[in-house]
Chains A and B, each alone.
Chain A
Amino acid sequence: MSTEILELLPTIATLLLLAHLMGRLSPWMDWKSIGLMGDAMAHSSLPAIALAMFIGIAPIYLIAPFILLLSVYLGWLDYKRPGSLNSFLPVVFSSMLAVGVLALSLSGHGHPEELLHILLGDVDSATWQNVYVGLVIVVVCEIFLRQRRTAFKYYLLHPVYVGLVGGSALRLQLEFFAVIGIVVAFAIKSVGIILASALMLGPSIAASFHTKSLRGHLRLTWTLAIALSLTGFFIAHKLEVSSGVVIAALTGVIVLLSALPQLQKNFANSRIERRNS
């Protein structure tokens, strides 16, 4: 194996682990209509980043617990007031971002390059440490999804159905939001906020235009997440540009292309209706 490929292995492995995590988790977030969650959580990490810079430690040591706690808190809030999260998330997102910017400005510790690095990420410089952490998170995520799959399907229908399979709806909700928090923290550390947000939702939304069944949706989402990550990586490698940006852009294009047949169908239907009337 050439030296170049060996050097790229941690990047490819990190991308595949992240794509697997997003591919497995994103349909459930999409179905629960909390698509904004990943984006809001990622952007809300700025106060933790500001504090880490102020103290002088690696941001991830504060980002991870901060996001985990915030995620579980939002999960609790969503349970107590169902449906309130979508109005609450944009407020959390913007106010946390504002607090972070304010803290950075006042402390004088805001290094634009370092911030840009965290926001855009740099998957190309992933290390084996990222891979090991990613593997642990994959195990945690898989245990949750395998043990709680049936209960979670019922939870999407109505919380009272969780009792039918012997579980607590609140516990399930908090576990799910904790897993989201862990995955988002890993994604920020490994690939940056923008790619994390793109992969968190894109594959599931694209898959929803092509599948009719739950099983089909889960499989297609996972396949798309892996395919998009690998394709984006190799295109970026050929063009010698950042992988994260290419994957995020490619995800957006696939989502828009997937929606086209549906839009065409709707347009054709409305023309037929107009003609008939």
Chain B
Amino acid sequence: MSQILRLENATIGIAGRIFVEDMNLSISEGETIGLVGPNGTGKSLWVKSVAGEIPLLKGQMRLLNLPEPDQKKRAGLLAVIPQGLRPPLRVPCQAKEFLSWANCKDAAFEKHAVGVLLSGIDLDSRIQELSGGQWQRLLIAHALLHKPKLLILDETVEGVDRGHLDSVLELLREFATQQGSAVVMVSHDISAITKWVERVICLGGERPFDGDPKSEEFHLCLHRAYGEGSLIHSHEH
């Protein structure tokens, strides 16, 4: 499996405060990864650094071995759905128009992704008329149609209802394995995320945890990060 993202001794911080120090990380094709941690531990900052919005304070980052500033070559490789993204108020855009911006050439893939993610959504609706969860699903569908090598969802699955959550997460895992991409999901819904990912990164402890979500070490890390009272509720019934 070839490497998609590599962080070497990466230090991430802003306004004189360091959130992630000396992080070494490698993300490969086919991986679905959960990024968890309490509020204010630098999850969104990590996303912004990978997206190139804020520079690393120290260390190196390589996306498919491309140098950082080469934005033209990075086109289509990385898709990020930022946290709390709302439809722009003044832009009159229909859901189907928004999907068409991706200009997806793979009709079968588009039909499958749209079918799973956008069931029950009237694609003629204005994006402003969609509910929060429907908008999140539309954002995921749109990002998938670009077929990026690395897809990062910053608390995007949080608004998706229980009826759709499993199929959305399953589709994301399927996307990563079948398209040779990687998906990173930042989330607070630890039990839902850990059910679908094979690897989890936890920020907020003394040092970041990177490993199997079913391991004892991960639960210890959660304990350290969230405190003594932390509990993970299972949604499996």
Contact = CB atoms under 8 A, between A and B. Distances in A.
Contact of B93 (A33, A150, A165, A214): A214
A157 B52 contact: no
Contacts of B53: 159-160
Contact of B90 (A31, A165, A212): A31
Contacts of A166: 71-76
Contact of B97 (A154, A164, A213): A213
A177 to B, nearest CB: 18
A82 to B, nearest CB: 12
B96 to A, nearest CB: 9
* Chief secondary structure at chain B's binding surface: loop
B126 A212 contact: yes
Given A150-B101, A153-B101, A158-B82, A164 B146 contact: yes
Contact of B91 (A159, A164, A167, A214): A214
B91 A160 contact: no
B41 interface: no
B92 interface: yes
B94 A212 contact: yes
Given A150-B101, A213-B94, A31 B75 contact: no
Given A163-B78, A166-B71, A166-B76, A208 B90 contact: yes
B148 interface: yes
Nearest to B73: A166
B80 interface: yes
A208 to B, nearest CB: 6
Contacts of B80: 160, 163
A215 interface: yes
Residue of B51, B87, B94, B101 with most partner-chain A CB within 10 A = B101
Residue of A157, A211, A216 with most partner-chain B CB within 10 A = A157
A156 interface: yes
Contacts of A165: 75-76
A217 interface: yes
Contact of B85 (A157, A211, A217): A157
A78 B91 CA distance: 18
Interface in A166-186: 166-168
B114 interface: no
Contact of A163 (B51, B88, B92, B124): B51
B36 to A, nearest CB: 21
Given A160-B51, A164-B146, A166-B74, A212 B92 contact: yes
Nearest to B75: A166
B192 interface: no
Residue of B75, B92, B124, B146 with most partner-chain A CB within 10 A = B92
A179 B93 CA distance: 24
Residue of A32, A213, A217 with most partner-chain B CB within 10 A = A213
A168 B71 contact: yes
B90 A33 contact: yes
A163 B97 contact: no
Interface in B1-51: 48, 51
Contacts of B186: none
A154 B101 CA distance: 9
Contacts of B87: 157
A167 B92 contact: no
B113 to A, nearest CB: 16
B97 A215 contact: yes
Interface of B: 48, 51-53, 71-76, 78-80, 82, 85, 87-94, 97, 101, 124, 126, 146, 148
19 contacts: A33-B89, A154-B101, A158-B85, A159-B53, A160-B80, A163-B71, A163-B74, A164-B76, A164-B146, A164-B148, A165-B76, A166-B71, A167-B72, A168-B71, A212-B126, A213-B92, A214-B93, A215-B97, A217-B92
Interface of A: 30-33, 150, 153-154, 156-160, 163-168, 208, 211-217
The 5 closest A-B pairs by CB, nearest first: A166-B75, A166-B72, A31-B91, A214-B93, A31-B90
Given A166-B73, A208-B90, 7 more contacts: A32-B90, A157-B87, A160-B53, A163-B80, A166-B72, A213-B97, A214-B92
